[in-house]
Structure 1
Amino acid sequence: MLLKCIPLFFLAQLLIAAAKPTNPHLFNSDDPLQRELERQAKEETVHLLDSLFRSQIAYFSEVKAALNPQTKRSQDISLYITRLNQAIAEKDMDKKDQMWLDTFEEFKDSPLLLNRESETGLTDSQYKTLLTGQKLQDISTKFVTDVADYFWQIAKISGKVVGNGISSGNQS
């Protein structure tokens, strides 16, 4: 299960990178429908990012609850959760994205999922059991479902964008 969790966090990085259009001028249109579809796509992306942050908060809150609050890992997790809550509170997608990237950078060297007995107060076996509990599996499963829902919504919006582009092209 631990090996299943780590890729989820890397998947999150890829999703955030993919969510930002590489050429925002492609969507610059005077067409109200195109602007509305772009707004919907951004709204879906913000929803996914917030879901990702909430999943990580839930996951690490479960881990933290089992740790002695005086341990370094518990304190690291508290700071990480604070950063994620700040990202959820941000409404602007670009700022939210930057906050996530900054948080990822800040914590990339902090082994939140790895055990160092001096930082967790737990043996390797105890920490592994903690990281792979049923609640944590449920949180991971929900995140995968949220990602699938996101791609479905974006596919529907993309279909409307293409359909609108074809309709607009036929009118010219």
Structure 2
Amino acid sequence: MLLKYCPLLLLAQFLIAAASPTNLRLPESGVPLQKELERQAKAETINLLNSLFRSQIAYFTEVKAALNPQTKRSQHINLYITRLNAAIEETDMDEKNKKWMEIFDEFSASPLLINREAETGLTDLQYKQILTGQKLKDISAKFVTDVADYFWKITKLSGRVVSNELSNADQS
């Protein structure tokens, strides 16, 4: 069940990159409104990335709580959570995107979602129940809502950018 959410994360990564403020930028017009709209788009993108990071932290904190802290998997989760927290703390948009890509690549290559009894101390059934519990469903639903809200806000901002550029063109 959890694996069906991995494509959602990949899609979100692609969509965030496609709608990042640098892709919304129109030719420099020197109009303060244009800069403000770009600032708002950047802030919304940062908020969405931070929401994604917090959702992953919440999820993996829940998974880790079911594990013996001495297991290898618990230690891997600690490292993953540390990297997610560092990404939240990053304020530069390019660096935040870079950290997101690194974390995503690391996540896709990691065994965090695969049970190796020696690393988790749990049977396959126990680990599956932890990974696919209600917490995952709640976090996934919140993330989908956050993504939808983000794209609604970015769409509105994009419309304002285009409207502003058209107004400037009419005044010329």
TM-score w.r.t. the length of structure 2 is: 0.91
Q: Does residue 111 of the first structure (1) align with residue 97 of the second (2)?
A: no
Give, in whole Å, the separation in 2 of the partners of 1:139 and 1:29.
41
Q: Which residue of 1 aligns with 2:81?
A: 81
- The residue aligned with 1:18 is 18
Query: Matches of 1:19 and 1:114 in 2, distance apart?
Result: 32
2:36 matched residue in structure 1:
36
Return the offset for 1:147. 0.3
State the 1:155 CA deviation. 0.6
Structure 1 residues 1-172: aligned runs within 5 Å: 1-20=1-20, 26-172=26-172
Whole-angstrom CA distance in 2 between matches of 1:114 and 1:28:
48
Rounded to whole Å, the distance in 1 between the matches of 2:126 and 2:25 is 51
Query: 1:68–1:74: 8 Å Cα contact kept in structure 2?
Result: yes
Aligned residues of 2:24 and 2:158 also touching (Cα < 8 A): no
Paired residue type of 1:143: F
Say if 2:21 and 2:38, in contact at 8 Å, map to a contact too: no
Amino acid at match of 1:56: Q
| Structure 2 residues not aligned, in runs of 5+ | none
Q: Which amino acid aligns with 2:129?
A: T
For residues 76-114 of structure 1, give each alpha carbon's deviation from its aligned partner in whole angstroms, at most 9, with x where no partner exists: 111000000000011111111111222233343212112
Residues of 2 paired with 1:40 and 1:101: CA distance?
22
Tell me, which stretches of 5 or more residues in structure 1 are unaligned? Answer: none
1:73 deviates by 1.1
Give the distance between the partners of 1:46 and 1:27, measured in 2 at CA: 23
SS at match of 1:8: helix
Q: Residue 91 and residue 26 in structure 1: after superposition, are their counterparts in 2 closer, same or farther (change >3 A)?
A: same
Identity within the alignment, %: 71
Q: CA deviation at 1:136?
A: 1.8
The AA in structure 2 aligned to 1:160 is: R
* Cα 1:77–1:13 shift into 2, 3 Å: same
Which moves more between the two structures, 160-169 or 104-113? 104-113
Instruction: Give the superposition deviation at 1:23.
Output: 5.7
Q: Give the AA of the match of 2:32.
A: P
Inter-partner Cα distance in structure 1 for 2:104 and 2:161: 32
Conservation of the 8 A alpha-carbon contact between 1:27 and 1:35: no
CA RMSD of aligned residues (A): 1.8
